Amino acid sequence: MGKLHIIKYCFVAVLCACFAYTFHARAEETEEETSLTQGVINHVSNIWNDGRYEFLFPVYTYHSPLTYSAEKRKEYNVNPWGFGIGKYLEPTPNRRYALSFMTFQDSFNKPEPSFFYSWQHLWRAGKDFRPTLGFVAGITFRDNYHWIPVPGAAPTFGLEYKSFSIDTLYVPGFDVFLTWLTWRF
């Protein structure tokens, strides 16, 4: 798969995620009618102004043996040490939105800064445990793409205990999983 094909795939994925969010947000609108653009601006502003802080700590990258040979997996970095910070908002007990920045070591041990929006659905599995399912959409910058901003979207899943969670995203097209720890306060 060529780099241009991957960039096109990611761009389409981000557009689909934006449209999905927009239609979801418009379905929740009350009396005040807003334009599509204004709805997105209001949503981002609410997260930024009313949200609480979270720290993200990338801890593990998994390259699937279905796609990568054992020799290739040995070459790749599996410890994506880095740090992230974000703001999140939980408007209902079962939904969370976040705006985040995270930088980590990619599979080639190069820094990879990323800015992203995330949406998560939360289930109450007990008093303090909550499984999550959602998606992220954003922009990342990679050395092997000459630092050109690469848009993308990916599904996520995780498990939360009180204010700590472990989250994983699956990078479609590359068959890679990235796991990080989150501390919300």
> What residues act catalytically?
63, 106-107
56 and 83 Cβ atoms separated by less than 8 Å: yes
Report d(CA 22, CA 20) in Å as an integer: 6
Report d(CA 18, CA 105) in Å as an integer: 27
- Number of helical (H) and strand (E) elements in the chain, helices listed first: 3, 8
The three-class DSSP label of residue 50 is: helix
